[in-house]
């Protein structure tokens, strides 16, 4: 279990969770990592973040390659969510002389999670000198939780922003340029869409606060996935800029569920209409696509089309489930439209419309419904309905 040098005086000592397949509902086919960093000064040593509780032995084993954990002087808790803070008590046991610090909200969160455990607060402007190597802090509320904080080592120009710039990706490589920039940026986008999308304003503010503080990181070392350095770093910052500014492509995401194939047939004909207008369409059957992938496609899309047949006067449960997923992520400022088949009674499109409008989608299109099985004329109408949405997107 090797510790990996990140920059002068800083080592990655985190853990790799190869088998994680779900992170609070976000599917993670590539697993994840819980990154922790050891910062060594001439006088003292700090551990930035811990790991999910079952991975503490892996963390301590990597730390032991550099220093006896009992000699660690400082533990920084950048974020109290259990994937980073769950192992804190076990780590403190192994590092009995360490002072533990967090943002003021983090102090409260640690006490809540760990039976009143008392730690110290640090605030913006505080500097902890490890001996020729310093740590500075910026609380970053809502990137990802109210307690979130960034830690910066100016001498090594290394920013440790916890969840920001993270990706859920387990790998033996530690840097974005080693796994390949294209893969790293895709996973960065999937993570942003499924974790940070509703917090875009706070993420943009965080990037601005780093610049205002005069921090000029050459390395950004997040708490999940690979580390950004060299040409990969400006590429990642540029992608974050696009997403926080709400950049959109001429793209429509079409998601649906089907009972006996009628809604599936309609979906494919609607997609044909969209494509015929030269607009990028991403079609997802909710029975087979991962919600995280649909949401990633939605990140830069201008419109969302949702389909369901009617069952028991309402939509299918997979459609309702995905709407619940989206309600938290709030992908507003986009067009939406609904369609579906029905048999003896209708109701699904009305339910879907109400839920989408409540999320914040703009819905200028007539709902598109077909009774029982779409015939030749129904399919022509479905294609034209898709074309109309595509034309609105292009306009």
Q: Catalytic residue at 81?
A: yes
Q: Catalytic residue at 22?
A: no
For the bound state, the minimum distance from the C-beta of residue 339 to ligand FEO, rounded and expressed in Å, comes to 36
Q: Catalytic residue at 144?
A: yes
Nearer CB in complex with ligand FEO: 84/334: 84
Q: Catalytic residue at 231?
A: no
Q: Which residue is nearest to ligand FEO (CB)?
A: 81
- Which residue of the set 17, 49, 58, 81 is catalytic? 81
Q: Which of 128, 217, 116, 105 is nearest to 165 (CA)?
A: 217
Cα 321 to Cα 171: distance, rounded to the nearest angstrom: 31
H or E element in which residue 47 lies: strand 45-48
- Which residue of the set 144, 168, 284, 368 is catalytic? 144
On whether the CB atoms of residues 257 and 341 are closer than 8 A, the answer is no
Distances (CA, A) of 308 to 80, 218, 267, 319, 361: 39, 48, 10, 7, 18
Q: Catalytic residue at 83?
A: yes
Q: Which of 82, 94, 5, 22 is nearest to 58 (CA)?
A: 94
Contacts with ligand FEO, residue ranges (CB under 6 A): 79, 81, 83-84, 144-145, 163, 223-224
- Which residue of the set 84, 168, 224, 284 is catalytic? 224
Which residues 6+ apart lie within 8 Å of 376 measured at CB? none
For the bound state, the minimum distance from the C-beta of residue 34 to ligand FEO, rounded and expressed in Å, comes to 8
Cα 175 to Cα 181: distance, rounded to the nearest angstrom: 9
Q: Catalytic residue at 11?
A: no
- Which residue of the set 17, 49, 163, 187 is catalytic? 163
Quote the Cα angle for 173-176-179, to 5°. 50
Q: Catalytic residue at 24?
A: yes
Nearer CB in complex with ligand FEO: 162/258: 162
Nearer CB in complex with ligand FEO: 207/392: 207
Nearer CB in complex with ligand FEO: 223/258: 223
Nearer CB in complex with ligand FEO: 58/81: 81
Q: Centre a 10 Å sphere on the Cβ of residue 198 and count the other Cβ atoms it contains.
A: 14
H or E element in which residue 263 lies: helix 262-276
Classify strands 120-121 and 99-102 as parallel, antiparallel or unpaired.
Answer: parallel
- Which residue of the set 11, 79, 84, 284 is catalytic? 79
Residues known to be catalytic:
24, 79, 81, 83, 144, 163, 191, 224
């Amino acid at each position: 279990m090797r510790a990996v040098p990140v920059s002068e005086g800083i080592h990655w000592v985190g853990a790799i969770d190869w088998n994680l397949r779900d992170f609070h509902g976000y599917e993670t086919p590539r697993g994840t990592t819980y990154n922790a960093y050891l910062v060594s000064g001439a006088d003292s040593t700090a551990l930035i973040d811990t790991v999910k509780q079952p991975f503490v032995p892996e963390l301590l084993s990597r730390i032991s390659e550099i220093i006896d954990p009992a000699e660690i002087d400082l533990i920084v808790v950048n974020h109290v969510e259990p994937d980073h803070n769950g192992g804190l008590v076990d780590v403190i046991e192994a590092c009995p002389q360490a002072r533990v610090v967090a943002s003021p909200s983090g102090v409260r969160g640690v006490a809540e999670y760990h039976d009143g455990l008392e730690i110290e607060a640090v605030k913006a402007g505080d500097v902890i000198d490890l001996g020729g190597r310093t740590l500075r802090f910026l609380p970053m509320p809502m990137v990802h939780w109210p307690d979130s904080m960034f830690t910066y080592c100016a001498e090594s120009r290394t920013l440790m922003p916890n969840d920001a710039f993270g990706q859920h990706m387990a790998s033996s490589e530690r840097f974005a340029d080693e796994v390949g920039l294209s893969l790293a940026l895709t996973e960065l986008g999937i993570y942003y869409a499924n974790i940070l999308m509703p917090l875009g304003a706070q993420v943009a503010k965080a990037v601005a606060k780093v610049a205002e503080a005069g921090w000029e990181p050459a390395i950004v070392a997040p708490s999940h996935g690979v580390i950004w350095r060299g040409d990969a770093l400006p590429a990642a910052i540029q992608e974050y800029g696009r997403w926080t500014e709400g950049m959109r492509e001429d793209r429509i995401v079409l998601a649906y569920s089907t009972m006996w194939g009628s809604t599936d047939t309609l979906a494919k004909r609607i997609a044909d209409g969209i494509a015929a207008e030269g607009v990028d369409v991403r079609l997802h059957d909710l029975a087979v696509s991962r919600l995280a992938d649909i949401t990633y496609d939605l990140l830069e899309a201008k419109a969302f089309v949702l389909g369901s047949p009617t069952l028991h006067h309402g939509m299918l449960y997979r459609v309702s489930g995905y709407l619940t997923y989206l309600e938290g992520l709030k992908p507003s400022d986009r067009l939406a439209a609904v369609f579906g088949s029905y048999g003896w009674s209708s109701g699904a499109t009305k339910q879907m419309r109400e839920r989408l409008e409540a999320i914040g989608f703009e819905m200028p299109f007539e709902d598109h419904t077909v009774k029982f099985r779409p015939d030749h004329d129904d399919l022509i109408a479905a294609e034209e309905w898709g074309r109309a949405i595509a034309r609105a997107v292009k306009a």
